[in-house]
Amino acid sequence: MKKLIIISIMFIVGCAPKYQVVQELDKNMYHLYNVKDGAVVILTEDSLIINKYYKLSQIEMLNKK
């Protein structure tokens, strides 16, 4: 039972959607895409790598409201 609870918690924590960096639109502006949620454009001071997947919570966004 204890293993089931641990596995369930790991599954819930690891289920945040990941976005693929499609292109850099401008300096610090990136176009990201997720199959389920669609496209997102973000501003960040982080350097993102094209074709790499990121969780939005990992990226420090400048345009976050």
10-29, pLDDT tens digit by residue?
A: 555 556 789 999 999 999 89
Residue 8 has pLDDT above 80, yes or no: no
Instruction: Match 């001071």 to its residue by tokens.
Output: 45
DSSP one-letter string for 26-61? ETTEEEEEETTTEEEEEEBSS-PPTT-EEEGGGS-B
Tell me the domain boundaries of the chain: 17-65
Backbone angles phi, psi at 6, to 5 degrees: -65, -45
